[in-house]
Amino acid sequence: MSDNVVTTTDSEFDTQVLKSDQPVLVDFWADWCTPCHMVSPVVEEIGRDKAGALRVAKLNVDDNPETARKYNVLSIPTLILFKDGEEKARLIGARPKDDILRGIDPHMA
């Protein structure tokens, strides 16, 4: 993972995501989830492409159930874009890069 892609946890979520000075795309995933492994490199690529304007955080829902429960993540992969501490966009399921960008780009300005 690059510097722009971090692993976050229940205890670090507020600091790394909600208090970030940049929008953060959070990838809610689990080891056993095949679609999660399909979308993960796409999400990391978006993080590299948008370095300086967007951060990416990965949260394993099995290891961090509190945050997943708080944000009502019922299916994985779920991608949630947070900006200024608030949820701005939510994408559920493995999606191609263009589809993810269409979902988050309107909230990046």
Residues carrying an active site annotation = 33, 36
Using a 10 angstrom Cβ sphere, with 0-12 exposed, 13-18 middle and 19 or more buried, the burial of residue 35 is: middle
Contact present, 43 and 100 (Cβ < 8 Å): yes
Query: What is the spatial order of strands in the sheet that 5-7 belongs to?
Result: 5-7, 55-60, 24-29, 78-83, 86-92
